[in-house]
Structure 1
Amino acid sequence: MADLRYHVDGDLVPADEATVSVRDRGFMYGDAVFETLRAYGEEVFRWDAHAERLARSAAAIELDHGLDSGELKRRIDETLRANDLEDAYVKLSVTRGVQPGKLTPSPDVDPTVVVQAKPLPRGGVDAEPIWDGPATLQTVKTRRVPDAAIPSQAKTHNYLNGILARLELRVSDADEAVMLDADGHLAEGATSNLFFVDGDALCTPSLDGPVLPGITREEVLDIAGQEGIPVNEGSFTPEDLRDAEEAFVTNTTWEVRPVETVDGINIGGGPVTTLFQRVYDARIEREHYGGERIGDGAESGPAD
């Protein structure tokens, strides 16, 4: 890790020398947007979707950084090559840059752009997951910030809401927080989207609430359509999740992670979760590794 190089404002620098100004608005106010990405076989997964979400985040906070998706992708690719990384975690951050020290941002933006990367295991079929085991979830008191306060579709450096939720987990053995909206309905995890099976459909909180439109969430919904699995995007209570037949959480690095317990109540995995894991892995295998392990006889769907 000490030999990694990061991309900072157009230059590749050693990770331990990668710095931004203390006057940068991303540092001072969290006035920045970012994307967490995963590279498989030297290519970023679903770059177009990530680039579109980054653009929506920037528009939501009126950050006109002036960089097109091609230039941002070039910097990511340079970072991967400089570190000789085929499979990696990547974080792309764009801040409003250094401006006069006042809360109101200037319309003139000289953005700070940082790309960080670190190695991850190979993805795809028969890959080792990066998590230690199924997720344990705990419902927390910290509520998700309403859209009227901070738009949920803006993925910004201001992550205090999620940090407070994760701090509550210190008194439990849980490793992910279940956050509710202002009305007490399910929203999302601190860094993940929530899914559960109620017997009739795959359920997930609607984007009408304060829910980040996750790229992996979108992929799961696409798989559900492919596999003919009914989906209920709606409003749910914590009891709905605790009573579920099975559940899983998603994000870019975890991919599809089964849930073991919710608030100490055993949920466990199941055939639907296993199906989504296997189809997701098969997609990664085909798109990023040329179907290498699928060709060796791996299945893309459930066993007969």
Structure 2
Amino acid sequence: MIVFANGEYISGDEVKISPFDHGFLYGLGLFETFRIYGGHPFLLDDHLVRLNEGLRTLGIKAEYRRHEVLPILKGLLAANSLENAYVRMNVSAGVGEIGLQTALYEHPNLLVFMKPLGTSSGMVEKKLVLLNLKRNTPEGDIRLKSHHYLNNILAKRELGATSEVEGIFLTREGFLAEGIVSNLFWTDGETLFTPSVETGILNGITRQFVMKLAGKLQLEVQEGFYHQEALLEAEELFVTNSIQEVVPVSMFGKRTFPGKEGRVVKALSRLYGENRRKLWNRNSLQ
């Protein structure tokens, strides 16, 4: 695998990171994962907006724009002979003195790598289970897509290695939050429900795009604080993330759901597929 590391295209096993990088020492780093479809990095602008906002929060002096990132992605596609890919863009604070730093980090490390990913051949259904482990609260005002991933890792260990089931976090107060690697949605009639970001969830890029698509379908979107009983009363359930897209749910508890045959899931997936090779951001949706 050829990766991009601070201006160079090199083999992944040759990449070196200093033990004094504060991304390693103190978890001061952020990442974005997204897909490239036929050479097009879907919703790249939205991912970069979230990344740049997070960098400002962490005090990392860097800002990334489409015109800077696109040549890197094209170079990696060519170097790895790819057309469709999973991409991870990672920014860590960079080297600093040992100890907690209050000054801005002016020399961050940028690593970008990708791996092969085919185009979707059809929706794969999942089952949902509630996790015993509760969702931790964000380290700051909002949850960043940061290196602080222990809560998710412990949840995955609780769930096990299965790919057919997604675990759903509850908050300490018992409200529905999000999946281990996904955001949660359900429908009732012409209303689409999802937990509020005020529950401490990550405001996923695909989450935001799906809410935009819902408007095209004349669905009312409601964000709020909900208990698990809301899922048992729902008509359809699904989860989302930028790699798996819209993932229909076939079962929660003892209740079965339409899964990939659901009216809303099928409509959202159709619109998603129509736009994933052309949109740079959700606000350009026609």
**Match of 1:168, as an amino acid?**
E
Q: Deviations over 1:192-236 (max 9, x none)?
A: 110011234111112222121111111111111111112111111
Structure 2 CA distance for partners of 1:171 and 1:74, relative to 1, 3 Å:
closer
SS at match of 1:208: helix
1:11 aligns to 2:8 (yes or no):
yes
1:282 aligns to 2:269 (yes or no):
no
Residue correspondence of structure 1 range 93-242 to structure 2 within 5 A = 93-104=90-101, 106-122=103-119, 127-129=120-122, 133-147=124-138, 149-170=139-160, 175-242=165-232
**Aligned equivalents of 1:112 and 1:161: distance in 2?**
25
Structure 2 CA distance for partners of 1:108 and 1:63, relative to 1, 3 Å:
closer
Percent of aligned pairs with the same residue? Answer: 35
- TM-score normalized by structure 1? 0.84
Paired position in structure 2 for 1:37: 34
Residue 190 of structure 1 deviates from its aligned partner by: 1.3
- TM-score normalized by structure 2? 0.89
Contact map agreement 2:186 2:238 (CA 8 A) in 1? yes
Residue correspondence of structure 1 range 60-79 to structure 2 within 5 A = 60-65=57-62, 67-79=64-76
More contact order relative to length (CA 8 Å, sep ≥ 6): 2
**Aligned equivalents of 2:237 and 2:110: distance in 1?**
37
Which of structure 1's runs of 4+ aligned residues deviate more than 3 A?
Answer: 66-70, 103-106, 149-153, 171-174
**Aligned equivalents of 2:86 and 2:161: distance in 1?**
29
**Match of 1:111, as an amino acid?**
P
Residue 173 of structure 1 deviates from its aligned partner by: 8.2
- Answer with 59-68 or 222-231: which moved more: 59-68
**Aligned equivalents of 1:162 and 1:281: distance in 2?**
28
Residue correspondence of structure 1 range 75-90 to structure 2 within 5 A = 75-90=72-87
Aligned Cα root-mean-square deviation (Å)? 2.2
Structure 2 CA distance for partners of 1:261 and 1:152, relative to 1, 3 Å:
farther
**Match of 1:247, as an amino acid?**
L
Contact map agreement 1:60 1:151 (CA 8 A) in 2? no
Task: Say how many residue pairs are matched.
Answer: 277
Query: Structure 2 unaligned runs (5+)?
Result: 280-286
